[in-house]
Amino acid sequence: MGILPAEDEALLSEVAPFATHAVEPAVARPELPMAATTWTELLAEVESLGLAGADAEPSGLGPWELLDTDAHGSERAQTPGSTLALLSRLGRASAAVSLAVHQRSLARVVLRRAGLAGRIGAGPLAIAPQAHYGLGRTALAHALASAPLTPDDRALLADAYAADAARVLPLDPGFAGLVTPVFVADELTFQVHARADLEVTAYPNAHGLDELITAEVRPRASGFVSTLAPAEARVLFGQALMAHQLGLLAIAAGAVERVHELARRFAAQRRQGGAFIDQHPAVLGLLGRSRATLHTTFAQLDAASTRPLALGALPATLALRAQAQPALADAANAALQVFGGLGYMRDTGAEKVVRDVNCIRALAGSPRELLLIVAEWERLHA
């Protein structure tokens, strides 16, 4: 990430030692899943440091606490520069740990803003800003832009954001509750369920993010629903959705940076055809492809980090993720190819990053749906 204000640099100086000395040793053997006790200890340290925020009030370090200001807060308070740098740095060490931190922090902030803090007791939360499937296509653009809803819009949003709709997502194994959007009385708002009120069906053969559980989560009892005014709930939903999109992108970029460095070091040490392979044009082309994507993505994240998370930034945010996330998946695959056949073996660490980035890519809307919302937003505001 680019140049950060002094207070943000100070925050990252706290994160970097944790990532280097606590997280990276825990994932030094990528062929072995992280032990449950190690995961619990790592996330307990996250909590003690305040890196995932706090339940009752902001810890001062939680990634998405910038959203604790209301919709009329200052621009400085709502620009996510330090948050994206923090998530990227943690993502470089472990995408799963970074995603857990991102989910906990964003869930806590949304609950406070929605007036639901403390309704389900203590414990780490997860958040799923996406709908039952996708995001609701152009109907979501209409709802967030306060445009008149057609009968088709209402039917789609009522189905996708039903109170009892299931979501499939990766979760911290110790999650205590889930925050989700819900469509009630023609408006989007948020609800929260304790884990005991959720039917959790784990998928044991998930593609990546091995430290998390990938599961279908379906409410089996009524949750607590926010009573925010419609305009406030709309802004909160838009901000949470943008934060989620940017967070996923920052985590994936950090993970790709990790696999690029693994590939670069391997190429500098591996000899073939009488030379180190980082002197072969084909290998250089692969390294160049992954590095070029990283340069572009971090430049785009730097630009996004200075924009307030206001609803007007929604199309730019969704467009960024729609274009950058597939490019990051391609960059991770290019780095893996540097290893040749060894890249597909678990002990190099490359294939794990590729799987993790692919899993992140599948969350919170496909590129096609994100671009549909972008185009519809433009049409509504033309």
pLDDT digits (tens, 9 = 90+) for 29-57: 988 889 999 999 999 999 998 889 888 77
Of 4 and 284, which is predicted with more confidence?
A: 284
Structure tokens belonging to residue 218: 């379906």
Count CB neighbours of 5 within 10 A.
12
- Closest by CA to 43, choosing from 169, 170, 168, 175, is 175
Q: What is the pLDDT of residues 144-203, one digit of tens each?
A: 999 999 999 999 999 999 999 999 999 999 999 999 999 998 999 999 999 999 999 999
> Under DSSP, is residue 105 helix (H, G, I), strand (E, B) or coil?
helix
Quick one: fold of 233-380? Butyryl-CoA Dehydrogenase, subunit A; domain 3 (1.20.140)
| CA 247-244-182 angle, 5° bins | 165
Mean pLDDT of all residues in 217-234: 93
pLDDT at 97: 97
Kind and range of the H or E element at 233? helix 230-269
In this prediction, residue 11 has a pLDDT band, given cuts at 50, 70 and 90, of low
How far, in Å, CA of 325 to CA of 364, rounded?
11
Q: Where are the domains of the chain?
A: 233-380
Structure tokens belonging to residue 144: 């967030």
Q: What is the pLDDT of residues 60-81, one digit of tens each?
A: 778 898 887 644 443 334 578 8
- Closest by CA to 149, choosing from 157, 159, 315, 191, is 157
Kind and range of the H or E element at 109? helix 95-114
In this prediction, residue 8 has a pLDDT band, given cuts at 50, 70 and 90, of low
How confident is the prediction for the chain on average, in pLDDT? 91
Q: What is the value of pTM for the model shown?
A: 0.94
- % residues pLDDT > 90 (the chain): 74
Tokens 């072969």 belong to residue: 280
**15-24, Cβ contacts within 8 angstroms, sequence gap of 24 or more:** 15/51, 15/86, 15/89, 15/90, 16/89, 18/45, 18/46, 18/49, 18/51, 19/89, 19/90, 19/92, 19/93, 20/93, 23/90, 23/93, 23/94, 23/97, 24/93, 24/94
Tokens 């403390």 belong to residue: 118
Of 11 and 223, which is predicted with more confidence?
A: 223
pLDDT at 158: 95
pLDDT at 1: 54
pLDDT at 213: 94
Alpha carbon separation from 69 to 74, 75, 223, 235, 348 (Å, rounded): 8, 10, 25, 12, 43
How far, in Å, CA of 101 to CA of 115, rounded?
21
How far, in Å, CA of 46 to CA of 103, rounded?
13
Report CA dihedral (207, 212, 216, 221) to the nearest 10 degrees: 180
Mean pLDDT of all residues in 205-224: 92
352 pLDDT more than 60: yes
Q: What is the pLDDT of residues 77-108, one digit of tens each?
A: 457 888 999 999 999 999 999 999 999 999 99
Tokens 């009573």 belong to residue: 227
Q: What is the DSSP string of 29-46?
A: -TTSPPPHHHHHHHHHHH
Q: What is the DSSP string of 319-344?
A: HHHHHHHHHHHHHHHHHHHHTGGGGG
pLDDT at 67: 85
Of 320 and 62, which is predicted with more confidence?
A: 320
How far out from the chain centre does Cα 70 lie? 22
- Closest by CA to 73, choosing from 239, 237, 199, 214, is 239
How far, in Å, CA of 108 to CA of 125, rounded?
7
Tokens 């971090």 belong to residue: 298
Count CB neighbours of 382 within 10 A.
5
